[in-house]
Amino acid sequence: MELKELGKTGIMIPEIGLGTWRYKGGAQPLRKGIELGAALIDTAEGYYTEEAVGEAISGIRDKVFIATKVSGRHLGYNDLLQSAEESLYKLGTDYIDLYQIHWPNPTYPIRETMQAMGELVDRGLVRFIGVSNFDIDEMEEAQFFLSHYPIVSNQVRYNLNDRSIEMDLLPYCEEKDITILAYTPLDDGNLAKKPSLINSNKMNILDDISQETGKTMGQVAINWCTSRKKVIAIPKSNSQERTIENCESSGWRLSPEEINRLSEAF
């Protein structure tokens, strides 16, 4: 499993993590992913999967990088601190590696939200602070009120079919050394499906490169995501078989020519 630096922290984490949105696979697929080097698990209080993650990391907490999120409905100072405590309890751990704001919510003063996030780091309950679904202006405002700690990551949707972050957010994060955690890198499985008569030419190109490389279409699609220096992909799977396949998206690299063909096609 290839590793990448989280922001500018000096901490190296896997370029393929384990997503848990709508996850129903129990502990075993997560354990298998960890065994294969995908020792980054992303969850959230709003996913209702923190208990499953806690079960999966029981006894091996020191081997796993845990990322979770506070709901955008709980961004008041006291609510956020309480959410963090509840996540710690459900995860069965005494610290969270990466605590993220799940989505921006202007109902709550961002100063208050970031004050609570900083306090969690001060208290040793959180190691690093991230955001999710934030645009550039929202990230800059959040960072302004977080004077002592950097925002190290932004978790956003990114895949061959949805490249909107390439317009400005991805270049900004690359310039600022902020890690992108790419959710739905397979576009809800659509990029892992063999082309049919109704598929466009772009899926045929993805299939062609799959056959040329000896990798599955899903592995090619994930590898395309992680070919960007600051991008880490967090696919989700309920099965051990697909988890193994996802993990094997790392350890090799598409050629520049293959990356260009995909980028031009999509």
Whether the per-residue pLDDT at 198 is higher than 70: the answer is no
Structural domain boundaries in the chain? 3-189+221-251
Helix/strand/coil for 216? coil
Q: How far apart, in Å, are the Cα atoms of 255 and each of 2, 209, 228?
A: 16, 10, 13
Tell me the sheet residues that pair with 151.
129
Q: Could you tell me the pTM of the whole model?
A: 0.95
Whether the per-residue pLDDT at 4 is higher than 90: the answer is yes
| 182-192: average pLDDT | 95
How confident is the model at residue 193, as a pLDDT? 87
Whether the per-residue pLDDT at 183 is higher than 80: the answer is yes
How confident is the model at residue 196, as a pLDDT? 67
| 96-112: average pLDDT | 97
Q: HSE (CB half, 13 Å, CA atoms) of 76?
A: 5
Strands 231-233 and 18-19: unpaired
Whether the per-residue pLDDT at 205 is higher than 70: the answer is yes
Token pair of 103 as six digits: 């989505």
CA distance 185 to 180: 12
Nearest Cα neighbor of 63 from 24, 36, 45 is 36
How confident is the model at residue 201, as a pLDDT? 86
DSSP for 62-80 reads GG-EEEEEE-TT--SHHHH
The counts of H helices and E strands in the chain are 10, 10
How confident is the model at residue 195, as a pLDDT? 77
How confident is the model at residue 199, as a pLDDT? 62
The top-level CATH class assigned to 3-189+221-251 is alpha beta
pLDDT of 33-74, one tens digit each? Answer: 999 999 999 999 999 999 999 999 999 999 999 999 999 999
CA distance 14 to 234: 10
In angstroms, the first-to-last Cα distance of the chain is 27
CA distance 66 to 45: 13
Tell me the average pLDDT of the chain. Answer: 96
Q: Which residues of 226-247 are buried (b: 16+ CB within 10 A; e: fewer)?
A: bbbebbbbbbbbeebebbbbbb
pLDDT of 206-242, one tens digit each? Answer: 999 999 999 999 999 999 999 999 999 999 999 999 9
